[in-house]
Amino acid sequence: MLTLRGRAPRRGKALSDLGILRNSALLIRDGVIAAVGARSKVETLPEARAAEKVDVGGRVVLPGFVDSHTHLIHAASRAEEYELKIAGASYEEIARKGGGILNSVKKLRAATSEALKKRAGAALREFAAYGTTTLEAKSGYGLDVASELKILRLQRELNLEQPIEIVSTFLGAHVLPAEYRGKAGGVQQYVALLTERLIPEVAAGKLAEFCDVFCDRGAFSRKDSKVILEAGKKNGLFPRIHAEQLTRTGATQLAVQLGAASCDHLEQVSKADVRALAKSNTVATLLPGCDFHLGLKQYAPARALIDAGAIVALATDYNPGTSPTLSMPMILSLACTQLQLRMTPAEAIVAATINAAYSLRRDRQIGSLEAGKQADIAVFDVEDYREIPYYFGVNKCWMTLKKGQPIFQKATRE
Ligand SMILES: [Zn+2]
C-alpha cells in the first residue's frame, strides 16, 4: 500500500517518499478512511469486525489519481487534424487555418447539451477505469457567454450526478474567438467581455473555483493574461495558467507573481523560470501527453524542476486536439521514459496524486491514504508499484473506489 502519508506538497527528495506499508489494511467509514496500518492491527479494531471485507489479493493499492488539467467537455475528436499533423503540418499552422481550438469551438457551439453531457459522461467512466477519482475540468471551447456558461453548468451537473469529483476552471481566455479576429480592437473587446461580464457571472454563480489563461503565441499575451487573471482573482477565482508551451512568453514569472495555484506545460521554460517556480508555492504541472501526441521532442525539464525544489505535478491534459488520453498510467510512463522528464516511478506517482491535489487546493481531503481523508483509492493488478508506469498502453487498473464505493472493477474471467 502506497500511503503517501506526511507533508504536502512534496518537493525534491520528498517526491520519492511513498510511505509504503506491506501486509496492510484500511478501514473505511462513511466514505472516509478511519484507520490505516498493519493488517493485524486494523483487522482487530472493534469496528473492523463488523465491516464488509474487500480482499485485493496482494495487489498494489494507492490513492486515486488526481488529474489536475483536463478539457473534459468537447463535442468531437479532431482525428482529421491528426492526419494533417502526420503529413507534416504543425499545430500552429493548423490553428492559423481555422483548425485547432477554433475547430473545437465551432463543433461545441453546434452541439446540444445532451450530446456534450453524454460524451463527457462516457469519458468519466473511462477515467475511473484508469484509476482517476478527481479531475479538474476547464471550459474554453465555447468562447461566448452562452456556450462558456453552458460548459460550466454541465460540469456542475456531472459533478453531482456521477461519482468522480469535478473541479471547475473558467478558461474563457483559451484563444481569441473567430468573430473578434481581424477586427480593430478585437482583443481588447474580448478581454473586456471576459473581465467585465463573464468572470463576474461565473463567480456569482459559483460555476468555477479557478480562472485559467492560455498565454502563448497565437493565444493571449502576457499583458492580457495578467489583466484577465487579476480580474479572476478579484472575483475569488484562483489563477492557473497555460505557460511556455509553444514559445517562452514569461507566463511562468507572471504565475509566480500572481501566486497562481498552478503553471502548466512548461516545455520552453528558462533556468530563471525554474528557479522562480522552485521558490514559489505555484505547482509546475507537466503534460507530457501533449508532446507525445504532437510528436514533439521537447518535453518539460522535470528533472531540473525537481532538483531545484519545485512542486511538480502530472496531468493528462485530456483534450481533442493535443492530448486525447484519459490514462494517467500512460502519462506516468511518459514521465518516466521521455528525455528531459526522466522521473522515477515514485516521483511520478506523487506528482499524479498528492501534488496534483495540492494544486486543486484539496490536499487535506484527497491525494494520500491517511485517517480522516476521503477513501479515494486505486488498486493495480501488479506486484510492484514500479510496474504501474513500466507497463504502457495496457490497463493494469483492477479496482477504483471513490469515497469507499467501487466505481470501477475489472471484469474477471472466473
Ligand atoms: Zn490545456
Of the candidates 336, 337, 356, the residue with the CA atom closest to the CA atom of residue 345: 336
Give the distance (Å) from ligand 1 centre to CA of residue 54: 37
d(CA 408, CA 414): 17
Question: 381 C-alpha to center of ligand 1: Å?
Answer: 30
Residue 336 Cα to ligand 1 midpoint, Å, equals 21
Instruction: Using alpha carbons, select from 138, 121, 196 the residue that is nearest to residue 172.
Output: 138
Residue 219 — very low, low, confident or very high, per pLDDT cuts 50/70/90?
very high
Q: Look at residue 188 in the predicted model and tell me its pLDDT.
A: 97
pLDDT in tens, 124-171: 999 999 999 999 999 999 999 999 999 999 999 999 999 999 999 999
What SS3 class is residue 208? coil
Query: What percentage of the chain reaches a pLDDT higher than 70?
Result: 100
pLDDT band of 93, cuts 50, 70, 90: confident
Residues in the chain: 414
Phi, psi angle pair for 34, to nearest 5°: -95, -30
Q: 61: which residues sit within 8 A by CB, 6+ positions away?
A: 1, 2, 24, 26, 369, 377, 378, 379
Mean pLDDT for all residues in the chain: 96
pLDDT of residue 414: 52
CA–centroid distance, residue 55 to ligand 1 (Å): 38
Measured in Å, residue 14 CA sits from the centre of ligand 1 at 27
Residue type for 8, please?
A
pLDDT at 98 over 90: no
- State the distance from the centre of ligand 1 to the C-alpha of 287, rounded, in angstroms: 8
Q: Compute the distance from residue 274 Cα to the ligand 1 centre, in Å.
A: 20
Looking at residue 91, its pLDDT comes to 81
pLDDT score of 413 more than 80: no
Q: Which pTM was predicted?
A: 0.97
- Residue 182 CA to ligand 1 center (angstroms) comes to 25
User: pLDDT tens, 342-356?
Assistant: 999 999 999 999 999
- Model confidence at 18: pLDDT above 70: yes
State mean pLDDT over 329-358.
Answer: 97
pLDDT at 412 over 80: no
| Site of grid cell 503553471 | 263
The amino acid sitting at 68 is S
N-term to C-term CA, the chain? 26
Cα(281) to centroid of ligand 1, in Å?
20
What spacing in Å lies between the alpha carbon of 19 and ligand 1's midpoint?
31
| CA 386–ligand 1 middle distance (angstroms) | 27
In terms of Cβ atoms closer than 10 Å to its own Cβ (0-12, 13-18, 19+), residue 20 is middle
d(CA 61, CA 87): 42
